[in-house]
Structure 1
């Protein structure tokens, strides 16, 4: 397993949501520190082509467009899933209107948004920091931070694509339902939903808010609507929130995230095998690991994973608006990079990586190989960190 490429100068995005179709990655919304989130403008969409290694932006609807109101407003903390070659966006919030509970559909063929018509009156409450997972013809929504109650929750809903209706999954008395939380992950493995991580709180006698981070795996089986709390073995990872979870060849992978109890951003990669219930930490080869971060996106296409965006800790001096901890001023740096992780690199990929890292001349090789090498090295093979950006 290798980190093979790092592409710079992409959209600076934090707490965004994304999905992949064919050779394209679609990134929806999110924020950066330089943007104004007190206005309700249409959400932005950035597209990455995995063959050309280029980003481009789609045009936003204009107020004069007939379907202007069908587009979701700009937001963060939302979720996006792919179902039958369309993207479905739910939840999230903006600083001005707050959280949202409308369901939107984006068609990449027509580049048009639409509001999904809901049958019946039941709709989950508005929230952000929830998770979403498609199993068969349903989109499951779990937990998050509710806007109306201003509290974490642990309810589970599903949207039936065939009936275009929302439903609630009520737990049984014997179920081991996960605690209320936000910024966890939900992943479909063999038509079961694996919940990992997230943040929840506990209010003590002195009404002091304390965060907790779960490192158990919670499994929901839609066949009988049952929950199971699994305590795996092996190289157990720290609990965290705002991490990324993805699957490859039937295994679950966790990358990055943040735990404020130990004040740590992560850039570690862990693998869980459902057949053995074992965790193991992956130590990739290739280029230098991505810097620690949270609220990034990770998507798998074929045998490669694409990680982009997020925010990382920095150490700064002489900036009065940063938090002062033990005399060291710290803050967050919003990332604009994209890393490519190859689960099983071919011999050609390893050769390209070797040539690029060693800066070996390829003048004696064929023109066809020259073209492949040029495209491969459009990425920054040896990434230079921005000033003040930390490595751990």
Structure 2
């Protein structure tokens, strides 16, 4: 038998310190962009980003300390099957809305591959999707909108292989696991071709499409933020609207984010423009969807400028 160390209490302290470090060292995700995120109950899941297969979440029911966010990393046990990037989007569906659907658009395969992540048993799968032959082209820079009935609406996007923008609509039924192409009901009212937009579902079943681009030229001209496309998921019809922005200028942008808060207010944040060389102003703005004509707001209490926080 080996002899005990001369100072056993030092060994005990060393072991205690090591255990303490293991237990208290929290996961700190590195900076990233072109990732995707979903909210399931009280957990905000973040997936991937450029050259990343990480998946982790933040429990938003706990008090938030922005200086020390308590992330839970799932990557060691359940890494994303691909290096998620700007080509993907995610949505929540399936039974009891506990499954993350990750859309991977692979130009090499010329098809959309869907991965599902079961948040209960934390396992990835590739489900068999019916009517996949209805998808006419791979799309990048898309955002999915999910309704309470498990349907995921995939609009427009961009195909970098063919350098083409789209304004078509596909629906994935996450319960029946089947695709459906929604042909426009009117040849007169057509949605604006766009990618890099935001898609926000309102309580009245309207999906609001804001911003983005339909120009892949050198300067990547972005779509006017007042040019709103609206899809009624109940009737399957499109309408368009020019939002009121008399009191504020919301600079055009793509790759921004949007969140619906109470009272029909959509908060947009960030984005980029001019071939990713410019940060649009203001960083944060609010679109009020309650009036007949939607209205943009920006004030010292609701909006930020890049110069204020840089």
* 5+ residue gaps, structure 2: 1-26, 64-68
2: CA distance, partners of 1:139 / 1:29: 20
Shift of residue 85, structure 1, vs aligned partner: 1.8
Distance 1:271 1:163, change over 3 A: same
Distance 1:138 1:174, change over 3 A: same
2: CA distance, partners of 1:155 / 1:291: 34
Distance 1:258 1:195, change over 3 A: same
Distance 1:72 1:150, change over 3 A: farther
Query: What residue number does 1:74 align with?
Result: 83
Deviations 1:228-283 (A, max 9, x none): 11011133522210100110112211111112179531352211222212111143
2: CA distance, partners of 1:9 / 1:152: 37
* 5+ residue gaps, structure 1: 1-7, 32-36, 63-67, 293-389
Query: What residue number does 1:223 align with?
Result: 234
Higher relative contact order, structure no. (Cα contacts within 8 Å, ≥ 6 residues apart): 1
Distance 1:175 1:202, change over 3 A: farther
Structure with the larger strand share: 1
2:283–2:306 contact (8 Å) kept in structure 1 = no
Count of residue pairs the alignment pairs up: 264
Of 179, 184, 190, which residue of structure 2 is paired with 1:171? 184
TM-score by length of 2: 0.74
2: CA distance, partners of 1:160 / 1:268: 34
2: CA distance, partners of 1:226 / 1:243: 25
Shift of residue 107, structure 1, vs aligned partner: 1.0
Matched, 1:131 2:140: no
2: CA distance, partners of 1:261 / 1:122: 34
1:202–1:209 contact (8 Å) kept in structure 2 = yes
1: CA distance, partners of 2:214 / 2:144: 18
Matched, 1:274 2:279: no
Q: Find the residue that maps to 2:112 and give its secondary structure.
A: coil
Matched, 1:161 2:174: yes
Extract structure 1 runs of 4+ deviating beyond 4 A. 97-100, 288-292
Query: What residue number does 1:365 align with?
Result: none
Greater C-alpha radius of gyration: 2
Q: Find the residue that maps to 1:110 and give its secondary structure.
A: coil
Shift of residue 126, structure 1, vs aligned partner: 2.1
Q: Find the residue that maps to 2:214 and give its secondary structure.
A: strand
